[in-house]
């Protein structure tokens, strides 16, 4: 366990990081939408059937964001009128897939693990987005200002005015999400400070038939970037943790976190947040069992 001082430092570091990421990415997304019309973005992502989910997951796989960093861009996509299913495929894929993550898997665990991980998580992002849309959960969006993108900006012709508009929009969104962010970071810091590090290894050995769902449960609340958790996962495999449990921990830890749950609660209703968490959990469990079987 960590000391109280280390826990406080973690709290301040994560809070500062998330604040900078949210405001920075929100401003950048808002600025991009000042120059790119909604029609262009919607034409690219608004495809029928699986193609829209495929493109949403592809966008997520190309963005090197952690789970919390995806939220500002998610807000921007929803503002631009991108279909709900494609947006959710992006949210699921973004923290789990990017060239850095795949490269780390390739170097540390081999090309087969890297390939299987990519295929399983990409397919899960596509399927998850499609299921969430089919369930009619698009109506569970709240606190998202649906505004125009690159159209109707005659009153803001200069770059400086567009940048100001983008920042003010980002600040408005941040104020709405801040209470949830503070709650989430506090809980995440408590877990970081006072959860024994060897607990995960003890309960997730290959002899435990419940190791995969247990590591998924443990991974989901943690605030971990995939780039951080992958080296830890490799160390855990050397201590005897099964590869299925390791992948379950990686997917759960990188795909969802308490800060992200809190931030999602600022833009989604409780039902959608709960179902989204369940989708991430099931993705972690399915990925773990796929690796165990293979």
Using alpha carbons, select from 224, 218, 217 the residue that is nearest to residue 196.
Answer: 218
State the greatest distance between any 2 C-alpha atoms of the chain, in Å, as a whole number: 66
CB burial string 218-252: b at 16+ within 10 A, e below? bbbbbbbbbeebbeebbebeeeebbbbbbbbbbbb
Confidence (pLDDT) at 211 = 81
State the Cα–Cα distance between residues 202 and 232, nearest whole angstrom: 15
C-alpha of 195 from chain center: 23
Q: Over its length of 294 residues, how does the chain's per-residue pLDDT go in tens digits?
A: 557 787 788 788 878 877 887 788 778 867 876 776 656 666 777 766 788 899 889 888 877 566 666 777 787 778 777 888 888 999 888 888 877 677 777 877 778 888 888 999 999 999 999 999 888 888 888 755 544 444 444 444 577 888 888 888 878 878 877 887 787 678 767 766 776 656 655 666 666 768 888 878 877 766 666 656 666 676 667 666 778 888 888 888 777 777 777 778 878 888 888 888 888 888 888 888 888 887
Using alpha carbons, select from 258, 230, 247, 257 the residue that is nearest to residue 287.
Answer: 247
State the Cα–Cα distance between residues 54 and 128, nearest whole angstrom: 11
Confidence (pLDDT) at 205 = 61
Confidence (pLDDT) at 198 = 64
* Residue 64 CB contacts under 8 Å (≥ 6 apart), including other chains: 98, 99, 100
Cα atoms in the Cβ-side hemisphere of radius 13 Å centred on 244: 20
State the Cα–Cα distance between residues 61 and 99, nearest whole angstrom: 8
State the Cα–Cα distance between residues 27 and 121, nearest whole angstrom: 29
State the Cα–Cα distance between residues 97 and 64, nearest whole angstrom: 8
Confidence (pLDDT) at 43 = 73
The predicted model scores a pTM of: 0.68
State the Cα–Cα distance between residues 53 and 131, nearest whole angstrom: 10
φ/ψ of 44, rounded to 5, equals -75, -40
Cα atoms in the Cβ-side hemisphere of radius 13 Å centred on 281: 13
Q: Could you tell me the sign of the dihedral formed by the alpha carbons of 28, 184, 11, 279, in that order?
A: negative
State the Cα–Cα distance between residues 4 and 14, nearest whole angstrom: 15
Structure-derived torsion over alpha carbons of residues 169, 172, 174, 175, reported in degrees to the nearest 10: 170
């Amino acid at each position: 366990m960590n000391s109280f001082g280390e826990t406080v430092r973690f709290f301040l570091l994560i809070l500062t990081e998330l604040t900078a990421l949210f405001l920075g990415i929100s401003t950048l997304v808002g600025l991009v939408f000042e120059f790119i019309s909604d029609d262009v973005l919607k034409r690219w992502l608004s495809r029928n059937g699986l193609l829209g989910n495929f493109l949403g997951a592809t966008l997520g796989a190309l963005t090197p964001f952690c789970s919390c960093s995806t939220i500002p861009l998610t807000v921007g996509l929803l503002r631009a009128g991108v279909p709900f299913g494609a947006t959710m495929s992006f949210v699921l894929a973004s923290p789990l897939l990017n060239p850095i993550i795949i490269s780390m898997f390739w170097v540390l665990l081999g090309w087969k693990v890297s390939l299987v991980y990519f295929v399983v998580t990409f397919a899960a992002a596509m399927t998850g987005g499609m299921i969430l849309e089919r369930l009619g959960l698009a109506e569970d969006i709240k606190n998202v200002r649906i505004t125009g993108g690159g159209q109707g900006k005659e009153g803001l012709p200069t770059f400086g005015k567009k940048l100001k508009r983008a920042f003010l929009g980002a600040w408005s969104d941040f104020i709405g999400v801040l209470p949830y962010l503070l709650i989430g970071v506090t809980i995440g810091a408590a877990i970081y400070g006072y959860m024994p590090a060897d607990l995960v290894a003890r309960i997730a050995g290959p002899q435990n038939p419940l190791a995969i769902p247990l590591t998924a449960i443990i991974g989901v609340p943690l605030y971990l970037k995939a780039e951080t958790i992958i080296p830890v996962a490799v160390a855990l495999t050397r201590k005897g943790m099964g590869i299925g449990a390791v992948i379950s921990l990686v997917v759960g830890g990188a795909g969802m976190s308490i800060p992200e749950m809190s931030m999602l609660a600022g833009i989604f209703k409780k039902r959608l947040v709960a179902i989204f968490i369940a989708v991430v959990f099931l993705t972690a469990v399915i990925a773990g069992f796929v690796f165990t079987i293979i």
